[in-house]
Amino acid sequence: MDIKLNQTISTVSKNLGLRYKTVSDYYPYKSIKNTARVKNGVLYVKVSDKLKDAPNEIIEALGYVLLSKIKGNRVPPRYKRTYNDYIHSIIISESPGETKGFHDPHGNYFNLEEIFNSVNTKFFTNDLPKPFLRWSKKRAYRIFGRYDRSKNEIVVSKLLDENKTPIYVVEYIMYHEMLHIKHGFSYKKGRRRIHTSAFKKEEEKFPYYKESIEYLKKASGKERRFLS
Ligand SMILES: [Zn+2]
């Protein structure tokens, strides 16, 4: 039994008015799967070991998702959202064959490692640890950049690895994703907040902020969210 996991689960259980003894543990499931069932008056909760590094808020949210069903209650949407949000960040780039051997920062025109280093020097006094850096496999046009905390990697859309892309645009994306490393996440009322006002304020300090946004808007063809 995992003591810390079980503490969180039994707190949720009590909050929902359940009276079972709880036994919770992590399991090395191949996919992200979590189960809860009652047997002989004991509530057994099995959680995928892919969630071992998840913040407590996530485990708590998962607890509400699983135990509301046991209780026969509707799952509160905010817990579902918090949990799903986190899972999404874990699986988004975990399709088969994509996880290994693709941490190559070299593109055809830009080297993400050089860009990371120069942005780190210019804006972060070289304080940020270097994550894995790679180009996306597909020419993603909607999401140009992504920082995946569970994998410690920054992915930049291959669409931008072109001669015509101004270097400041790639630097801006790198800068945005590096701000995620610096600021982390905060949780408010069970919801993950990543683009906080402090984040945005610092983001706007990038010298080519407006130009970069304009360029990315045109490249995406749509005025939608294009950085995650
Ligand atoms: Zn972002």
CATH of the domain at 181: 3.30.2010.10
Domain count for the chain = 2
* Whether residues 29 and 69 fall in one domain: yes
* Other CB atoms within 10 Å distance of the CB of residue 111: 15
**pLDDT score for 81:** 83
Tell me how far the alpha carbon of residue 130 lies from the centroid of ligand 1, in angstroms. 17
47 Cα–ligand 1 center, Å: 28
Q: Is residue 84 a part of any domain in this protein?
A: yes
Per-residue pLDDT of 107-152, as tens digits, reads: 999 999 999 999 999 999 999 999 999 998 776 666 789 998 888 9
CB 151 within 8 A of CB 93: yes
What is the distance in A from the centroid of ligand 1 to the CA of 219?
18
Span from the CA of 153 to the centroid of ligand 1 (angstroms): 13
Q: From CA 8, how far away is CA 22, in angstroms rounded? A: 10
Taking the centre of ligand 1 as the mean of its atom positions, its distance from the CA of residue 64, in whole angstroms, is 27
pLDDT interval class at 93 (50, 70, 90): very low
pLDDT of 225 reads 55
Q: In this structure, are 73 and 119 located in the same domain?
A: no
pTM of the model: 0.55
Instruction: Name every residue whose Cβ is closer than 8 Å to that of residue 21 and which is 6 or more positions away in sequence.
Output: 41, 42, 43
pLDDT > 70 fraction of the chain, expressed in percent and rounded: 86
Counting runs of H as helices and runs of E as strands, what totals does the chain give? 7, 8
The answer to whether residue 88 scores a pLDDT higher than 80 is no
Cα of 60 vs centre of ligand 1, distance in Å, is 24
Question: What span, in angstroms and rounded, lies between the C-alpha atoms of 11 and 47?
Answer: 16
Neighbours of 37 (CB within 10 A): 11
Same structural domain, 17 and 58: yes
Buried b / exposed e over 168-197, threshold 16 CB at 10 Å, is bbbbbbbbbbbbbbebeeeeeebebebeee
The answer to the question of residue 97 being in a domain is no
Average pLDDT over residues 151-177: 94
Does 120 share its domain with 48? no
Mean pLDDT of the chain: 86
Q: Which of the listed residues 58, 91, 124 is the one where a domain comes to its end? A: 91
Q: Does residue 228 fall inside a structural domain? A: no
Residue whose token pair is 């790679």: 134
Q: Quick one: pLDDT band at residue 92, thresholds 50, 70, 90?
A: very low
Task: Give the distance (Å) from ligand 1 centre to CA of residue 96.
Answer: 25
Strands of 49-143 (E only): list them: 132-135
44 Cα–ligand 1 center, Å: 37
Range of the domain at 8: 3-91
Average pLDDT value for residue range 55-63? 92
Reduce the DSSP state of residue 43 to 3 states and report it.
strand
Look at residue 159 and tell me if it is in a domain: yes
Domain end marker among 38, 61, 91: 91
- Domain shared by 85 and 123, yes or no: no
Residue 180 alpha carbon to ligand 1 centre in Å: 7
| Nearest-angstrom CA–CA distance, 218 and 164 | 13
User: In the predicted model, what is the mean pLDDT of residues 21-49?
Assistant: 90
- Ligand 1 center to 133 CA (angstroms): 16
Confidence class for position 221, pLDDT limits 50, 70, 90: low
Residue 3 pLDDT more than 90? yes
Predicted confidence (pLDDT) at residue 103 exceeds the cutoff of 60: yes
Q: 47 and 131 share a domain?
A: no
